[in-house]
Every structure is written in C-alpha cells, then in structure tokens.
Amino acid sequence: MFNGFLIPRSDSSVAYPQLIVNRLHMTIWGVVGLGLARIFWATSLLAYADRETQELIVALLATSTLGASLCLIHLRVAALAFVAIVMVPMIAFLWLSDVAVLVILAIVLALITAVVIFVANRYGIDFARMIMQRQEMETKRAEAEHLSKLNLSIANQDSLTGLANRRAFMTHLQDLVKNGSASWEEGLAVGILDLDGFKQINDVYGHMAGDRLLQEVSKRLTSILFGKVFVARMGGDEFGIIVNDARCEKQLVVLGERICRAMQVPYKVGGFSANLGGSLGFARWDSNKDNAEELFEKADYALYHAKGNSRGGVMIFNEKHAHAIKQNSNVDRRLQNADLEDEMSLVFQPIVASENANTIGFEALARWRSPILGSIPPDIFIGAAERLGIINRLTSVLLKKALLEAKKWPENFFLSFNLSMQDISSHEVMLKLVSIIKASGFDPKRITFEVTETSIMSDCDRAMESLNFLKSLGAKIALDDFGTGYSSLAYIRDMPLDKLKLDRAFVSGIDADENSAAIVQAMINMCWNLKIDCIVEGVETRSQFKALGAMGCNIFQGYYFSRPLESDDALAFALTQRAIEEVSGEKFHVL
C-alpha cells in the first residue's frame, strides 16, 4: 500500500543506474529535511524545559542522531549531513548556555560527533572503493561475457552469410541424434546442397562477386526453409540442411525440388546476371544404424550421385546406395593392401586417323583384377584410389607398365596416358613422372597426357603449371571428355593444349540428330581455328565414322575400330599396321 508513496515507483523510461542515483538524491534530501525538523523540535523544547528535561532531550536527540548516522553510514553524504544539521547546532546551543553541566555535555557530544564523523567518512571511502571495484569487476565480467558470446558466434557462425557454419551444423546434428529429440518416424533427415556452376562465375567475375552470390543464395535458402529446418554453410559453395519433420521421402523430394528451383532463378549481382544450379542429396536417419557422422556421409554420397546423374536434381539415399557404400568399403580395403605391381595391368585402345582408319597410337586404360574381388571396373577403383590417397602411386605404377609396352611399338605410334586431378596438382608427382619417363628411355614427344576439365578446374593455376612443365619436355596435352564439364572456353584458350577429345555423349546421335551434328561440327571447327587436333571418342558405327569424316574430323577412337587390346594383341596390331604401311608405302606420323 505504501509503494509509490514512501518509495517512488520505477519509471521504465529511466535507465536503471540513473534511477538509483535519483533515489539516492531523494534519500539525502529526505535526511536533510528530517534533520532540520529534529533540531527545530529540540531547540523549541529546550527553551522552555527545566534542567532535567533539557538533559533528557539532549540525550535522546544525541543517541537517536548518532544511531541514525550509523544506519546511514553506507551513504556518507547523508550520514555527515544528518550529524552536521542536528549535532552542530545542538553542541553550539549547549556550549553557549553558561551552564557547567551543559558545557561539559557539549564537549562530550563534540568528541563523540567527531568520532562518528571520522568513522562515517572512513567507512564511506572504503565503501565507495568497494563499489568501484565491484563496478570494475562487473564491467570486466560483462566484457568477458560479451567476448565469450562473440567467440561463440565466430566459432559457430559463417561470417560471410550469417548462417551457422560446419561446426555448428555438426554439433546440432550430434545433439539431435544423441538426445533422441527426433526419431525415424518424426523424419530427421540431412541434406547437402552443392551449387553447380559457381566456380566458373567466381573465376570469371572475381571473389567479391562470388561472395555476393553466396550471400544471395543464403537469403533464398532462409526464405524457403523455416520451422523445423536448420541451415548452415558448410564451406565453399556447399550448404547443409537438417530437417526434423520429413516423414516420408516424397516430402523430402518436394522440399529438395523447391530448393533447386529457387537456385535456378537468375541472380542479379553487381552489374551482371548469373545463372546457377543446385544439386541436393538427402539421407534419412535410421536410429538403429546411424550416428551423426554416418548420416552426414550418406547425404554426401547421395549428393555425389545427384551431381553425377542429374545435376540440378534431388537424390535420396536408398538401399542401392547403401550396397554401393558397402561395396566401396570392400574395394577400399582390398585396394589399400593390394600389390599394385602384380594386380594392376593395362589394355590399349587404338586411336586411328584418316578415312582408311590407320592406327597412329594407343590409349592406355587401367585394369585391376583382385585375387579376392575379381575384376573391378576402372571407374570404381580409380575413384577408390583417389579417396585413399594412393592415386599418385597407382599412376606411377601404370606409367612404368605403359612405357615398357610402348617401347615395343613402331616409332610412329604414340602413347596416350591419363592423369588424375591429384597428379597434376602436385609438383612432386610431376617430378616423379618425369624421372620415370627418363628412366624408360621412351621419347617424351611420343607421349600424350590426357586430363579432364574437372581436374584442371579444381586448381587451375597449379594445373597450368604442371601441364606447361610436361610440355617443356616435349610431351603433348589432350583435354579428355570435353563438353561434359562446366569449364569456361577461356580455359581452352589459355591451356597448353595439343589435342581435344570430344566425349562419346555427342556422337551417339550424330547420324540422326541435327542438333548433335551441329554441336559436333562447331567443336570440330573450333579445334581447327585453335590449331589443335580433334579426337572423337565413342565411334561405334560406320555411319558415325562417315558423318564425322564429312565434318572434317580425321582422328577417331571407338569400338567401331577396336575394343581395348591386351598388351600382346596391341603389339601384334601395331606390327601388322607397320607391315601394311611398308607394303602400301603410306606412313602416318605421330600427332
């Protein structure tokens, strides 16, 4: 009932520290008023009281005043003001009374008052110092708390997009799995989104444009994904998604398609317009099988297949993928312990030229026959070697074998050999390959090293350095599987290319589809204009061979001419070709 009367109500419009200051000022003024009232009351009574009553009034006033001062000791100004207002006039009154007892009482009160003033002043100073120390401690605590929150934000937030980062993503996922806050029925799922075409835009327009593009992507994701969906930037152009309520695969597909469509809408960044795509892999949590890391790996595997099979699409991890992972695990384990010298071999597919289909060289293709797993397809064991980090060792073994066989061929035959992304991104590997070539005694001018667009784009500067190094030895460079990647034509212009190999995907419908024929014709013309040889892969029929010849292509490779041959058969094939050349008088030189 006294709130707001004796104690003023809080004013929400006033900051809390200022409110405290205001109330302290009110307390001081209240003490001053009370002191004045008390001394007025006392002096009024003393003038009309007898000796005993005067002594009683003085004793009562002194004890109450000194007691009140001790109660106000935490507020030094109020305590000193109260003592000064009450005791000083009282002591003066008693001193001037000419009554011996009252004068002695004045002296006693003066001494007591002096002690109280000293104690109040000393305690007030100490109390103020303690308050300042506490304020400093509070300030430091607030700063430490702010720094802690800032560090936590830095540790868990992507500075570019404002989204959670990879660390926060994995921590959140681990908490969901560990605490069982989601179940298989509730539909916990992890998705990984990878942007298609981002690297090319980043390389052409610069990193600042790439950063703005990533910021725009994050805005689109946050506008689409809300509720029980957690979004994070995992690094580069990869984003992570945690869905808590995807109860069926169809729901995930619908959500994924919505995300992919949003990614395909043209971006207006700075002064240019950019087109991107997005591939998305999802994996649902099985509480009986998966921990957080395994769930993430499944989503990553689904993304890998989404990018390989249908860029710009959605892939849900399924039993087929699980079987493939198990198979890959077996392959990885066997390959890790394999005797590469003994288990790896090569086959050689002829590369032919002119309308007479004369062989001018062979492409070396790796084969692996495991004593336990049997024959493993190259696309499986090459990928496994890259994952395991032994692709460089595998390349060295295969190059030695290839050069050993190629030395048996006629001198006008060349060897075409494939290099991986990890090969051309390592200066040490380049030096190793050169030492192998020199040790073999094989002429480097008869070697063509094939690289893919993807391997170059992963680290363009390092790749260019490696390719120029190989060119300086006299070797030739061919760009393999051209047209299947996303590289800029600027790469084709700047690379030290001698040959360009068109992927088989463009050949399959060339003799029936006008669009396919037009694309191939444009590529062949480009090669002529750039003064590089154009090799068309995947030629399987005579009609394709004739159509390509009519377009101006004069180097071919495919099953129409020959399947890959074992080393002995390739040697026989080459020797037969030389015999034909000697009889006919025609000789085809290394290109």
The rounded distance, in Å, linking the Cα atoms of 192 and 255 is: 13
What are the pLDDT digits (tens) for 91-144?
A: 777 787 777 777 887 787 788 778 777 777 787 778 778 888 888 898 888 888
pTM of structure: 0.60
pLDDT in tens, 529-540: 889 999 999 999
Query: Within the chain, which residue ranges are assigned CATH 3.20.20.450?
Result: 344-584
Nearest to 190 by CA among 267, 282, 98: 282
Collapsing DSSP to helix, strand or coil, 503 comes out as coil
| Calpha distance 393→399 (Å, rounded) | 10
Residue type, position 141, single letter: R
Average pLDDT over residues 22-46: 74
Radius of gyration of the chain (CA): 44
CATH number 3.30.70.270 given to 166-317: yes
189-196/277-284 β-pairing: antiparallel
Listed in order, strand segments (DSSP E) in 34-115 are none
d(CA 367, CA 74): 90
Residue 237 is among the residues annotated as catalytic for this protein = yes
Confidence of residue 310 (pLDDT cuts 50, 70, 90): low
| pLDDT of 52 above 60 | yes
d(CA 342, CA 580): 35
pLDDT over 70 (residue 399): yes
Where are the domain boundaries for CATH 3.30.70.270 in the chain? 166-317
Exposed e or buried b for every residue in 209-242, given b needs 16+ CB within 10 A? bbebbbebbbeebeeebeeebbbbbbeebbbbbb
Give per-residue pLDDT as tens, 410-457.
888 999 999 998 999 888 999 999 999 999 999 999 999 999 887 777
Residue of 289, 324, 296, 299 whose CA lies nearest to 184: 289
CATH of 344-584, one of 3.90.1570.10, 3.30.530.20, 3.20.20.450, 3.40.630.10: 3.20.20.450
Q: State the pLDDT at residue 485.
A: 58
Task: Note the maximum CA span of the chain.
Answer: 157
- Is residue 587 scored above 50 in pLDDT? no
DSSP labels for 428-463?
HHHHHHHHHHHHHT--GGGEEEEEEHHHHHHTHHHH
| Pair 270, 192: CB distance under 8 Å | no
Write down the catalytic residue from 158, 194, 196, 237: 237
Neighbours of 483 (CB within 10 A): 16
- What's the CA gap between 434 and 468, in Å, rounded? 13
pLDDT digits (tens, 9 = 90+) for 321-336: 777 777 778 888 899 8
Confidence band for 579, pLDDT divided at 50, 70 and 90? low
Alpha-carbon 425 to chain mean position: 22
Cβ atoms within 10 A of the Cβ of 166, count? Answer: 15
As a whole number of angstroms, the distance between CA 476 and CA 471 comes to 6
